[in-house]
Chains A and B, each alone.
Chain A
Amino acid sequence: MLKDVTIGQFYPTGSVIHKLDPRTKLLFTTAYIVMLFCINNLWGYLATFLVLVVVTLISKIPVGYIIRGIKGLVLIILLTVTLNLFMTPGNVIASLGPFNITLEGLKIATFMALRLIFLIVGTSIMTLTTSPLDLTDGMEWCMRFIPFVRRYAHELSMMMSIALRFIPTLMEETDRIMKAQKARGANFETGNIISRAKNLIPILIPLFISAFRRADELATAMEARCYRGGENRTRMNQLIFENRDRVSFVLMFMMIGGLILTTMIKMPLIFPI
């Protein structure tokens, strides 16, 4: 039941995108997000859409799987769209009781919705194609360039990878404990909020106990292998930029250049303003 959560999930297909260096993907995604906020007309969004389609096709991830990520944020998108639609002053094109829909409002609402959807889709492609451990390795490298943070880069990324490593374990544990209590006749499905909250106690207490036990065991196991943190520590799998990474850097610059070019197109698409 809990296994069906998809947010931040890794979907291995072995495509070129999966094999890319995590640093490349992080930089690419960052550039993509920055560009997403620089675009100012529909030509730009059309170009971004093309980039997304191409990347999705190369990654071999089923489209349905990516779209599922948007579902969770439908409410936020709707809220943004509604607010922008009715609250923007300008040329009125339709009115709904006391509320006016303006052409400017329609335009901003469309842009906002597209921006949010592209943001979600872009970042989910990133997490779907990168294993959590690769992702933290890439982040550790990126953190080295941030002053103050760089001293703790290793510790922070170790904490992150341990946290990520234990999400599935704790989910499984929750599932197991829930089943064990259900087997003793516990009922998690009916009742009012208070009784439901009370019903969580038989799950939460064993879960906390096991989390502490696991943390303790992991700490002992790490100390037994003389773990001393980041200083002078070498890694077994070095991150190395390959040719495919160089190619994607070229593509990234082409994407940035292309998107900047679209901001200069004066001819309007759909919206006459």
Chain B
Amino acid sequence: MSVEIRNLSHIYSKGSPFEFQALNNINVTIEDGSFIGIIGHTGSGKSTLIQHLNGLLTPTSGTVLVDGEDIFNKKKSEMIQLRHRIGLVFQYPEHQLFEETVQKDVAFGPKNQGLSEEDVNNRVRQSIKMVGLNYDEVKDKSPFELSGGQMRRIAIAGVLAMEPSVLILDEPTAGLDPRGREEILAQIKSLHTQKKMTVILVSHSMEDIGRLVEKILVMNAGEVVFYDSPNRVFTEIETLESIGLAVPEVTYLMKRLKTKYPEIREDIFTVEAAKDEILKVIRG
């Protein structure tokens, strides 16, 4: 599914003294099957933007087209249908868990879709597997007796069980330990490569975004600053720093190495690529 954002603006609490312009004339096209990263300082409008993509927020002006159709022209029932196709995982999604058992909680989404019990069970089984947990081990447990990382996965499974064609994740690794981060990101990556899902990943971490995504959307104060491939975005160090962001540590290293070895490449943002490049230069 392709998602087109057209002249989108959003103003919170319009007409009160707390009025706040969160988005200002955003124009972005997200192609079918792509992997996009959204990055920006706190309060730059990332979360507001993604909540427009499945119609949870209504824009003050502008619109969102999904497969060419304006989603804000739809009826309520069609809107609910749309939310099944565009899965949104909120920040700290484990706070939305409510059922007695993991099985029932993950089944909430597909049940709302009106699937048969058999289909629901199949989807629950699959999606729990997809997030790397043992279905038979966790299905009868209460979601509240799981560890933080496991709860997070169950919550993500709850969205995956609806089998959306676009998956949006708002900081899925916030507050997890390094191993939990790695595992969740690897699973998201495999969803994209194996299931051909369109993935939109909101993150603070340049490292994570740099090595995973095809295109980065950089936001600042409700506007789009860059929408380009990581190679291009990460060369704009000054602009990124001026809006409170940074490039991956390893890119800074390459920049400093360049003063000693002028032939070394700077547009590198993963440790593996840096290793190869350094070895190449040293071995000459």
Contacts and interface: CB of A to CB of B under 8 A. Distances in A.
B158 interface: yes
A29 B93 CA distance: 45
Interface stretch (A39-47, A80-88, A177-185): A177-185
A185 B158 CA distance: 11
Interface string B35-70: 000000000000000010010100000000000000
B17 A13 contact: yes
B90 A176 contact: yes
B173 to A, nearest CB: 17
Given A11-B17, A201-B98, A190 B108 contact: no
Given A185-B83, A186-B108, A180 B90 contact: yes
B96 A182 contact: no
Nearest to B91: A176
Given A180-B93, A185-B83, A202 B17 contact: no
Contact of B90 (A183, A189, A210): A183
Contacts of A210: 95
B76 A190 contact: yes
A140 B70 CA distance: 55
Interface residues of A, number: 24
Interface in A175-214: 176-177, 179-187, 189-190, 201-202, 205-206, 209-210
B46 to A, nearest CB: 15
Nearest to A204: B98
B162 A177 contact: no
Interface in B1-33: 12-13, 17-18
Contacts of A176: 90, 95
A209 B96 contact: no
A209 to B, nearest CB: 7
B71 interface: no
B210 interface: no
Contact of A185 (B56, B96, B112): B112
A177 B112 contact: no
Given A11-B17, A206-B95, A185 B113 contact: yes
Interface in A83-132: none
Interface string A29-59: 0000000000000000000000000000000
Contact of B56 (A177, A179, A190): A179
Contact of A184 (B12, B18, B51, B108): B108
A258 interface: no
Contact of A183 (B17, B76, B83, B95): B83
A230 interface: no
A180 B56 CA distance: 9
A206 B90 contact: no
Contacts of A182: 56, 83
Contacts of B87: 183
A233 interface: no
B98 to A, nearest CB: 4
Contacts of A202: 96, 98, 108
Contacts of B268: none
Interface string B76-91: 1000100110011110
A186 B114 CA distance: 11
Contacts of B88: 183
B159 interface: yes
B109 interface: yes
Interface of B: 12-13, 17-18, 51, 54, 56, 76, 80, 83-84, 87-90, 93, 95-98, 108-109, 112-113, 144, 158-159, 162
Interface of A: 3-4, 11-13, 176-177, 179-187, 189-190, 201-202, 205-206, 209-210
Return the 8 tightest CB-CB contacts between A and B, nearest first.
Answer: A185-B112, A205-B98, A180-B96, A184-B109, A183-B88, A180-B90, A179-B56, A202-B98
Given A185-B80, A205-B98, 4 more contacts: A12-B17, A185-B109, A206-B95, A210-B95
